[in-house]
Structure 1
C-alpha cells in the first residue's frame, strides 16, 4: 500500500477492507482534517464498524478513537428515534391510502447495510404519485408537528419539498416529499410511479406495507443522483459510491439484464456507466464484462453526457430541451427567475411588496452569474 494517503483514499481503503494505518496518511494532514473528510463523505460510522478488531484501530490516536466511539453511539441512538418517527409518519400515509415508495439512502440502510445507522443520512426521501398526493401528505405531517421551510415551487422548477420537525429529545427529522424521480427536467420523467411501483420491494422493518424502489431502479437513481453534484465536486462522495458498490455486488444476471434494458431505453447508459466505473475504481467492484460493454455501446448513441453536469449552463440548456414545447420552456424560465412573490418576500425577510421588482432583479442577476461562472 502506498504511503502518504489522502484522507479520502484512507477511508476508501478501509471500505475495501484493507488495513491502512494512521501512519499511511500524509503527516502534514491534521487529525481534524481526517475527521472532517470522513464526515463529509458520510462514512465515519461505517468505517468505524469496519475498524472493529483491527490493528488499524489500535494504532489510531486515542483522541480520534474516543471521538469516533461517541459519534457512533450518538448515531445509533439517533437512528432508533428516527426509525420510530418514520414508522409513524409512513403509517399516516398508509392509513389514508396514499401510495408511496421510499428511495435513496433510507431503504438501502435496511436492505444493504449490516445495521441502518451505518448508512449515514440527514433525511428520508419519499416518492408519491403526484403533487396532489404530496400536498395531502404534507397536511398529515403538518398535523404531527412538521413544518415546510420556504422554498421555490412551481410546475417545472421543483418536484419536491422538505418537511422538518425536532422532537422532544432534540432529534431532527426531515422528510423530503417527491412526486417525480428527480428535480432536473432531463431526468424528471425517466420513470413514472406505476413503473417504479411494479418492481418495488418491501421494507418490513418500517411496516408491513412499506415499499421502496427495486434494485435496478435504485441503481439507476444512485447513478443519476451523482450528476447533480458534479458542479460542486461531490459526485464521488464515498457513501454514494458505496451504495452503488453494495447494490451491484448483489445483482443477479436477471437484474443486470433488467438494468441494461431500462438504461438503454431511457438513454441513461452514459450516466450509469460513469457512476459504475467510478465505483469500480474506488472499491474494486466486480462488474460483468458484458454489462460494461453494453453500457459503453449505449452511451455512444446518447446525446446527454455525464460531463454536462459539470456546467450549470449546459445542464439548464439540457433541462430546457427536455421539455416538450416552447410553452413549457417559457414556464420553466419564468419560474426560475420569477418565483412566487410570497417566496421572495419570505426569502429576503420583508413585507414591503414595492421591493419585489428590485428583489426579482437581484435574483435574476445572481442566477445568471451562477449559470455563466
Structure 2
C-alpha cells in the first residue's frame, strides 16, 4: 500500500486544519469586564438541572453570532459542549443587536451558583480586513442558582435582583427545549427569518405619534435600555422599534415569551421619549412613553473591547496547526519513499 501513509497525512492535515479553523471562529473569551453598552439577563433565578433557562442580551453586533458559555468555560461544567470550546449555545444576532432565546441546562450540572458568558466578535471595518476584529463580552445579570431536582424553583434566588423585563420562564421565541447527551440545546421547530425590509416610521414626529392608539404597549426603564411590554399574542413575533421625537430606528428583534422587547438607549439623550413597535408587516402595534436616564460609560471602558488582527489564530490554533504541519510533512515524506528503499531498510534492520 504505497500511498497509505500519504493518504493518512492528507487526512491529518484536513482534520487538524478544521480544528484550527473551528478555534479561529470563536470570539475572544472571558472572564473580563463587560463591554460597555452590553447587558444580559436570565430567568428563572432558580432552576433544576435539565430545565430551560431563558436569556436576553443586547448591545452586541448585528448580523454576527453570539456564543454562550457556562461559568466562563470552567472545567467543572465543561466536560461536553455542543459547539466546541465550552460553548453550549449559539444564536444569530438580529439587526437590533438584541437577542432573546433559551437553552436547556445539562442534567448533570452541579447544584449551586452559576452564570452565563455571552461572546461575539465583529470586524472593525468590514471593508478593511487588516483592521482586525472587536471582541464583545457580557455576563451582565445572568447569575442563577441550580437546585436539586424536585426542589422549589419559584422563590427568588439570593444575589443580584432580576432585571426589569427579564425573559419569562417558558422557552423564549417559540423554542422547544431538548437535551441531547446531557448537552444544552434549544431547537426551534420552524425558525423564522428576520424581515428583510425596514418599515417606514409610523409618524413624522413624537407629537404626531401621540395621536395614534397606544395599543396596550407599556414601557419600563431599565439600566441602559427601556423594556417594552406588548400584548401577549405577539410573543415570538418579529417587531421593529422606532424612538421619537425624531424617528430613530432600532432594528428588528423577536418578542420574548413574556411579551417584551428591549430597546437600548445609550445613544439617546436623557429625557422622556416615545417608543413605537411595528409588526412584521410594518403596521403599528402601539406605543408608550419611557424615560431615558444618563448612563455614562465606566472608567477604562476602552479596555473592555478586545482587538485582534484579522485572520489571526488563537495560540491553541497555532499550536495545533504547527504540529499538524510537522506531522504531515514527515508522513508525506515517508509516503513518497519508494517501496524498494523501505524494503532495503527493513532488510538491513530486521
TM-score where L is the length of structure 2: 0.27
TM-score where L is the length of structure 1: 0.26
From the CA coordinates, give the structure whose radius of gyration is larger.
Answer: 2
Between 1 and 2, higher relative CO (CA 8 Å, sep ≥ 6) is seen in 2
Q: Please state which structure has a larger fraction of its residues in helix.
A: 1
Q: Please state which structure has a larger fraction of its residues in strand.
A: 2
